[in-house]
Amino acid sequence: MTTSRRLPRRHDLAPLLRFREPVLSAKRRRLERALTIDDLRTAARRRTPRAAFDYTDGAADGEVSLARARQAFADLEFRPAVLRDVSRVDTSVEVLGQRSALPFGIAPTGFTRMMHTEGEVAGATAATAAGIPFALSTMGTTSIEDVAAADPGGRHWFQLYMWKDRDRSMALVDRAARAGFDTLLVTVDVPVAGARLRDVRNGMTIPPTITARTVLDALPRPAWWFDLLTTEPLAFASLDSWPGTVAELLDTMFDPTVTYDDLAWIRRQWPGRVVVKGVQTVADACRLAEAGVDAVLLSNHGGRQLDRAPVPFHVLPDVVREVGDDVEVWLDTGITSGQDIVAAIAHGARFTLVGRAYLYGLMAGGRDGVDRAVEILRGQLERTMRLLGVTSLAELTPDHVVRLDRAGG
For residue 397, give the DSSP letter.
Answer: -
Task: Quickly list DSSP for 46-76.
Answer: HHS-HHHHHHHH--STT-HHHHHHHHHHHTE
Amino acid residing at 47:
R
Active site residue 11: no
Pick the closest to residue 302 from 43, 112, 67 (CA basis). 67
Contact yes or no for 388/81 (Cβ under 8 A): yes
Name all contacts of 356-359 with Cβ < 8 Å and 24+ positions apart: 356/41, 356/56, 356/57, 356/302, 357/37, 357/40, 358/106, 358/107, 358/109, 358/123, 359/44, 359/56, 359/109, 359/112, 359/115
The Cα–Cα gap between 341 and 345 comes to 6
* Residues β-bridged to residue 351: 330
- Looking at 116, 156, 301, 400, which residue is catalytic? 301
Query: In residues, how long is the chain?
Result: 409
Angle, in degrees to the nearest 10, between helices 356-388 and 338-346: 60
Active site residues: 301
